Structure formats: C-alpha cells, structure tokens
Structure 1
Amino acid sequence: MAESLGVAGTLEAAVAVLRTRLPVQSPVAAIVLGSGLGGLAHRIDGATRVAYRDIPGFAEPRVEGHAGELLHGTLGGREVLALAGRFHMYEGHEAEHSAFPVRVVHALGARTLILSNAAGGIRRTFSPGQLMVIADHINLMFRNPLLGRVVAGDERFPDMSAPYDPGLIRQLHAAANALGIRLEEGVYCGLLGPTYETPAEVRMLERMGADAVGMSTVPEVVVGRAMGMRCAAVSCITNPAAGTSPHPIHHQEVIEVTRVAAADFERLVEALVQAL
C-alpha cells in the first residue's frame, strides 16, 4: 500500500481508477474467492475485469489458485463485485493491506460481504470436499487490521459478538437444503501460516472449539464488520488437519479438492446472492 497516501488516500485512488473501468451501480454483494474457488468468476455474466496490478493499494497474489482480478457483473441476475484471489499475510503483507480490498468494494457500494476459503478439517466427521458455513472464528494470527489510526467511518471498537450475520447463515442453510447440498456449520480458526499446523497445534485448536483451520478470512471480516458490512463465509474442507490423518498435507491437494467441490460452492453462493 502506498504509505505516503495512507489508507484513506490509497482507497480514494483505487476507487477513482475502478470507477473509470467498471460500470458499478448498486452491487448487492462482494464475493471473495479463496484458493481453488475462482471458478465462480465464470458464472458472472457480462463480467468486466481489472487486474490487481492496475489497482492502487492492491498486490498481485503469488499463490496458485488466486487469479488476482476484481470483477463486476451479474450473478443470478443480481449485480455483484468479485475479488478473484487474495494477497495473504504469509506473503509478507500487513493485516491492514491484506484486508484493503474489502474497503474498496465497500466504497464501491457493496454492503454484504461473502467470503470463501480452503481449510483443514479439525472436526473428525469432516471429509475432503465438505462445505462449512462459518458461525464464528478464533483469531490466532496475532494481527489485527484495525491497529493504528482509525479510518474514517470505522468503529474504533467493533462489536464481534456476531461477526458472521445470522440472517445470512440461515439463508445459506435454506439454499443448501433446497439444492440438496450438505452444508455443515462450525468455528474457523485463522493462523498466520505459511506452514500447515503441527499435530500438537491441531489438538490445541480442537480443545479451543475450532472445527476448521486456515490462513485467511479473519482480517477481511474484521474490517468488514468495522465498516458495518453483513458478512458470511464458507469454508471448503480440503484435507484432514495434521494428526487426524496419517497423510501429509500438500497445497496441490488443496487446489484439487476445491476444484472438485467448486460446483456445489458456486450453486450455493449464486442462490444466496439471488436471495439478497
């Protein structure tokens, strides 16, 4: 992020660029597409794309499964914005920077934030490909994107008693039932990465009440809630967490499983957008 401009100045510059490139009017939601879940972008009709490298304050993702584009179009007949890919803190970005795209889509008019991620399954009944709506999270990244000076419009001390909107969670369950998709609900734990968890760490997280673990989502939800956005998030369980299976964990496996589960994820998100 351009340090000389600060968050407000960089946000203004990013929005100015995007207003000239995207025919944004009143998006009903912004969607963040996690590892291997970028296929939803192909379901967006009339999509206009802007590469992250062309947006002030954005960085280019350097991880497979993250395209690095902001899209505008319609999904299920509703106007949406989509962030195809993340730049994670484990790539060297500060939490504030990693969550900056959420500020941009909010400034473009989105008031509902739908996030997705790939996650390791801690709950023993989870199997690869399972979708889990996040009911709550545990932040063990030991970073908070709101540190420092308050950005205009933010709450200084945001209430996090319901970070994930209960109404959106109910709508996701209703959509899953109507579509015949098995959708679980649980607690997501965010860790900094980039290493996967050790078996001892997974046992600790299990005792803390976590059902899934990953390396994203938490900073974006914190910023979204500080700005008053309604947030919902879906995890694709890609592998058993370390110590719950004898097999090692590989990123390629994560990408392959999310691609298999992508069809159900895409149908679920489209149904939610239509219900907004």
Structure 2
Amino acid sequence: MGSLADVLDGKIEVPYEIIPHFPRSTVQGHAGKLVFGYLSGVPVVCMKGRFHYYEGYPLWKCAMPVRVMKLLGVTHLVATNAAGGLNPKFEVGDIMLVKDHINLMGFAGNNPLQGPNDERFGPRFPPMNEAYDKTLIREAKRIAKELGLENIVHEGCYTCLGGPNFETVAELKMLSMLGADSVGMSTVHEVITGRHCDLTVMAFSLITNKCITAYDSNDNPNHEEVMDVGKMRQDVLKLFVQSIVKYIKQTEDSINP
C-alpha cells in the first residue's frame, strides 16, 4: 500500500532493482520499493508495488517477498488488494475483510509452493482452512466500528484469477455460484506462502468497481477507475491499518513483556 509507506517515520526505501533476484513491478501505480520504517512506533516493512502472475513471473516469484519478510523477522502479514465487488451488497469504496479464498489457479495446478519443499520455511502440505486469522478479523471489525466505518466494512470470500483481462459475464456468474464475493489478481499466493512459513495473516480488499454480471450492461471496468478509488480511500485505509498494527503490537507486548 503505497500511501501507507509514505507516512512511515524514519523510513528507508530500498528499490527492488538493487535487491538480488527480486522481481520488478511493471504496473502503473506500483512504484517498486521495499519501505522500512515505523508506523505509530511499530517497526514495519511495506511493499510499495507488488508483482502479479500476468507480468510474466511464476507464482513462487510473485510471493518471494513474503519469504524475504519472514527472514527479516516479520511475524504478521497484512495483505491488501484492489478488487471487483461480486457480492451485489458491496458498493464501490467498501472494504471487504477476507475470511477465506478460492484458489482457482491452484485448482489448475499452479501453486506458489510447487517444486521441492524447503522445510526451513514450512511443511510440505500446509493446511489452509484457517489461512486468515479469526482474531484479527474480529478486531478489525471492532476497529472499523470505532472509526465509524462499520457501514462500509464487510467479510467475504476472495478469489484470484490470472489476469490481466477483466472477467467475462459468464465467468463472474460462475464465480458467484462458487461463493466468491470479490475478485482480483493477487494476494492468494502471498497468503499461501505466508501461512506456509507460519506468519499470522489477515487481508482485505478495497472494492474499486462492481463486477458486471449482466449482458445488457454498458459499463466497462478499467484500471484508471481502480486507481481513482484507491486515492479516494487512502486516508481511511491508512488509519484503518495503523489501528490494526497498534492492536497487533499491544497483543505481542502482552504475550512477550
């Protein structure tokens, strides 16, 4: 989340291109830096720009930064994304806390954990039935209420597709039948990798457009719309994530005084 990285105290920016073997972001609006600093006194690292399968990288490479974070001592992963709202109750600008995901790319045999397993990170067959931490979801809802955001914050199921094209009407109808509430092109492989190496994970989607599920619609989703909604909500999202990070720090301090 680039806007969050901009408000860190004592920040140090490390361009992706000087990190050995690191992929580079090629998408408009993704700057391409790891940003280290303090958020409300809590040491954090932010990705200012991420990587996508449609850029030509294999999924393990897209998720490589998560393993780098693990090696740096990170314990919690807060993943964010811009997503299309498939649930008809969602409005543009809403926030969806991810309670589960549908890994369609994994169904097709494409998984970031494919290949030899490195036991130093995690087991060969990691469970995913509790991929998203229930306590953090509960606390995020509490924080949303305290911030007066309860009317725009929901829970739902996210699904990741390969992209880069937006989906057809038939595809979206199918995804709705499968139980997906939002649709994007990231996050799932990062979450799988994070859980594989025992990070505590939460994720949320900013609903940047409504999915088009009617053939007579004249609307067309576009990347500019996605970026505009992100800018519109950036101050709210910064405050929301700051509050979540504060809660995580307080909880960790109480466990390890």
Deviations 1:194-218 (A, max 9, x none): 1101010000000100000000000
Shift of residue 57 of structure 1?
A: 2.1
Shift of residue 140 of structure 1?
A: 1.2
2:244 is equivalent to residue 257 of structure 1: no
Aligned to 1:174: 142
| Worse-superposed segment, 243-252 or 264-273 | 243-252
2:113 is equivalent to residue 149 of structure 1: no
Q: What does residue range 221-260 of structure 1 map to in structure 2 within 5 Å?
A: 221-243=191-213, 246-260=218-232
Shift of residue 85 of structure 1?
A: 1.0
| TM-score w.r.t. length of structure 2 | 0.91
Aligned to 1:96: 60
Distance 1:196 1:89 in 2: 14
Q: Which SS does the other structure have where 1:118 is aligned?
A: strand
Distance 1:140 1:183 in 2: 25
Distance 1:82 1:173 in 2: 22
Distance 2:224 2:71 in 1: 35
Q: How many residues align?
A: 240
Shift of residue 42 of structure 1?
A: 1.4
Distance 1:92 1:127 in 2: 32
What amino acid is the match of 1:228? D
Shift of residue 41 of structure 1?
A: 1.1
| Worse-superposed segment, 111-120 or 55-64 | 55-64
Aligned to 2:252: none
- Correspondence for 2:39 among 75, 81, 95: 75
Aligned to 2:11: 47
2:154 is equivalent to residue 184 of structure 1: yes
Deviations 1:27-83 (A, max 9, x none): xxxxxx2xxxx1111121111010000111212211112111101111011111111
Aligned to 1:219: 189
Structure 1 unaligned regions, length at least 5: 1-32
Distance 1:246 1:239 in 2: 14
Shift of residue 246 of structure 1?
A: 3.5
Shift of residue 243 of structure 1?
A: 2.2
Shift of residue 235 of structure 1?
A: 0.3
Q: Which SS does the other structure have where 1:50 is aligned?
A: strand
The question of whether the paired residues in 2 share the 8 Å contact of 1:154 and 1:226 is answered with yes
2:130 is equivalent to residue 162 of structure 1: yes
Distance 1:161 1:133 in 2: 16
Shift of residue 165 of structure 1?
A: 0.6
Percent of pairs identical after alignment? Answer: 43
- Correspondence for 2:96 among 132, 151, 171: 132
Distance 2:65 2:121 in 1: 16
Distance 1:54 1:203 in 2: 43
Q: Which SS does the other structure have where 2:6 is aligned?
A: helix
Shift of residue 274 of structure 1?
A: 0.5
The question of whether the paired residues in 2 share the 8 Å contact of 1:135 and 1:187 is answered with yes
| TM-score w.r.t. length of structure 1 | 0.85
Structure 2 unaligned regions, length at least 5: 249-257
Distance 2:37 2:170 in 1: 45
What amino acid is the match of 1:194? P
Shift of residue 242 of structure 1?
A: 2.3
The question of whether the paired residues in 2 share the 8 Å contact of 1:155 and 1:226 is answered with yes
- Correspondence for 2:177 among 207, 225, 231: 207
Aligned to 2:76: 112
Aligned to 1:17: none
Shift of residue 227 of structure 1?
A: 0.5
- Correspondence for 1:194 among 159, 164, 170: 164
Q: Which SS does the other structure have where 1:72 is aligned?
A: strand
Shift of residue 153 of structure 1?
A: 2.5
| Deviant stretches of 4+, over 6 Å | none
What amino acid is the match of 1:49? E
Shift of residue 221 of structure 1?
A: 0.4
